[in-house]
Amino acid sequence: MNPVSARPERTVLRPDLARIADWIEPGSRVLDLGCGDGTLLAWLRDHRHVRGAGVEIDDNYVIACVQRGVEVIQQNLEDGLAMFDDKQFETVVLSQTLQSMHRTEHILREMARVGRHGVVSFPNFGYWPHGWAILRGRMPVTGQMPYSWYDTPNIHLCTLRDFEDLAAKLRLRILERATFNNDREVRVMPGWRSTLAVYRFASE
């Protein structure tokens, strides 16, 4: 076996990534921002014949992408997406990274510029135990937000309604939404009961 081409044959995606994969057309072009170790792009390549590229800043993740055979560009997302043309991709994904961006509106506008559709996911600050923690005088620490207040990378936390209001302001048309609590999809009272939200949108 060639060690360069060896890769896991049956990667099981997290439920939120599996839903994102369901929203992506086979054979389409995908840009994954903050792509991590390239798990999603590798799965889409192997199962949906997607032509994908990732943007990642972490050295170890970039190496992992290369080992998976995933095309990756090492760059800070805060610098924008100027290297990509308008509507170069069918879908642009920003998974569990939006809350750590300093220029939130800018990255969403850039996603709408370079992609026909955008997909974002983020921790839901409206999850009811978060409110209970604040009433007790503490910042919430949960599985989806495991950091203490002094070392968290999360600088822009929001609820489902907060994101939907921002999307309307930026003229992003929300096409689909999925919400999760750990590995379970939440369909009833998602604003209170979900820990993670995933949205698919198009620019108007």
The model's pTM: 0.86
Q: Does residue 1 register a pLDDT over 90?
A: no
Mean residue pLDDT across the chain: 87
| pLDDT tens digits, 2-48 | 444 444 446 789 999 999 999 999 999 999 999 999 999 999 999 99
Beta pairing class for 172-181 and 89-95: unpaired
Residues shown for the chain: 204
Q: How far apart are CA 140 and CA 157, in angstroms?
A: 11
What per-residue confidence (pLDDT) applies to 44?
97
Q: 143: which 2 tokens?
A: 């599985």
The domains of the chain, with CATH numbers, are 15-203 (3.40.50.150)
Q: What is the pLDDT of residue 131?
A: 55
Average pLDDT of the residues in 66-90:
95
What pLDDT is stored for residue 4 in this prediction? 43
Q: What is the pLDDT of residue 118?
A: 98
pLDDT at 59 over 90: yes
Tell me the per-residue pLDDT of 154-186, one tens digit each, with 9 for 90 and over: 567 889 999 999 999 999 999 999 999 988 999
Percent of the chain with pLDDT over 70: 81
Q: How far is CA 97 from each of CA 34, 35, 67, 86, 125, rounded to the nearest angstrom?
A: 7, 9, 23, 22, 14
**Does residue 143 carry a pLDDT above 80?**
no
pLDDT score for 99: 87
Of 45, 29, 40, 35, which Cα lies nearest the Cα of 87? 29
**Higher pLDDT, residue 115 or 132:** 115
With 50 as the cut, is the pLDDT of residue 74 above it? Answer: yes
Contact 112, 95 (CB under 8 A): no
Mean pLDDT of 125-143: 59
Q: Which of 94, 34, 37, 40 is nearest to 60 (CA)?
A: 37
In this prediction, residues 137-148 reach a mean pLDDT of 56
Higher pLDDT, 57 or 145: 57
Structure-model confidence comparison of residues 130 and 83, the more confident one: 83
What SS3 class is residue 98? helix
Residue 17, φ and ψ in degrees, nearest 5: -70, -35
Angle at which helices 15-22 and 39-48 cross, to 10°: 40
Pairwise CA distance, residues 42 & 36, whole Å:
11
In this prediction, residues 93-121 reach a mean pLDDT of: 94
